[in-house]
Amino acid sequence: MVIDPGEFAPAKVNLALHVTGQRDDGYHLLDSLVVFAGAGDRVTVAPGTGLAITGPGAASLPVGCDNLCLAAARAMGGGVRITLDKHLPVASGIGGGSADAAATLRAIARLGRPLPRPEAILALGADVPVCLAGRPARMTGVGEELQPVVLPPFWLVLANPGVAVPTPAVFRALARKDNPPLPPLPPLPDAMALAGYLAATRNDLEPPAMALAPAIAEAHAALAATAGCLLARMSGSGATTFGVFATADAARAAASRLARERPDWWVVAAPSLG
C-alpha cells in the first residue's frame, strides 16, 4: 500500500520587505525578497468533505469556514477531505495559512484538476501566489508580480516569541508608506554575500511591529547574539524573527541554545529551499 505523503507547506520568510506605496483600494505595494525554509506544515487530500487539523499546532487553529485550506478547496470545486498537519505557529509572519492554501491547491491539482485563474489565487491572500510557486522570488505589487531569483545555499533559525501582532495594526503604525524599493540583486556566491546585501535592505514593518510587541525586539536581539548569525530580522509583519547562517552546524547550535534559554518560544533551524 502506497501512502500519500501529501504536499509540504514550507514557511515563507521575507528576507527583506520594503513598503513602496498604497493603492486607492487600501492594499499596500511591496517589494520583498522571499525564500522558503525546510520547516512547515503538510496537507493531504482525499475524496470527501471537511477539514481535520492534526499536529502540534492544531490547538491554536480551530476549524472554521474561513480556513484558507477550505477556501482553496472551494476555489477548485470542493469535494475533498483535507488533513492539515500543523507545525508552524499561527499568524506569525511566515505565511503559514498562505502556504497551507498553496499546498491544498497543489494537492488537488495532483488529482487532475486545473489550478484556478491567477486572480482567484491572489484573492485567497497576497502571499498565496509566491507560496504556490514555492521558490525564491522577488515579490512586488500586492504580491502578484513574481520574479524568480537565484540565492546561495544558507540556513535559517526561526524564532517566534508567542505574541500576536495584528497585521492591520502594524501597517497603520508605519511612519511612511512610500519607501524606496529594494536595491538591484547582484550575484551572491555565498551566505556571507547574501547577508551583506540584506544589510543594505530593511523590513519596513519591523519598527512598528516591535513598538506594538516588544517581545519581537527581544527575539531579534537573542538571535543576533548567537554565534554564527550573519544577520537577524523580523519576517513579514511578525512576530517571527529569523537569523541567517552559513552552515547547518551553526544554525542547529544557535537553535538549540535559544530553545534551552527560552523554552516558551517556538524555535527551529532549517535550510533554505530552492
* Co-location of 121 and 220 in the same domain: no
Is 139 found in the same domain as 158? Answer: no
Q: Which of 116, 147, 178 is the last residue of a domain?
A: 147
Strand-pair category, 137-141 with 80-85: unpaired
- 196-250 per-position pLDDT tens digit: 999 999 999 999 999 999 999 999 999 999 999 999 999 999 999 999 999 999 9
Per the structure, the count of domains in the chain is 2
Are 162 and 59 found together in one domain? no
Single residue among 99, 118, 147 that ends a domain in this structure = 147
pLDDT (tens digit per residue) in 10-30: 999 999 999 999 999 989 999
pLDDT tens for 44-101 read 999 999 999 999 999 888 787 789 999 999 999 999 999 999 999 998 999 999 999 9
| Whether 20 contacts 181, CB under 8 Å | yes
Same domain membership, residue 185 and residue 130: no
251: containing domain? 150-273
Name the grid cell of 91.
499568524
Separation of alpha carbons 168 and 178, rounded Å: 17
Q: Same domain, yes or no, for 143 and 163?
A: no
With respect to residue 99, please indicate whether it lies within any of the assigned structural domains: yes
Give the domain CATH number at 84.
3.30.230.10
Query: Is residue 202 within 8 Å of 231, Cβ to Cβ?
Result: no
Show which residues are catalytic.
12, 127
Percent of the chain with pLDDT over 90: 92
Take residue 254 and report the three cell numbers written for it: 544557535
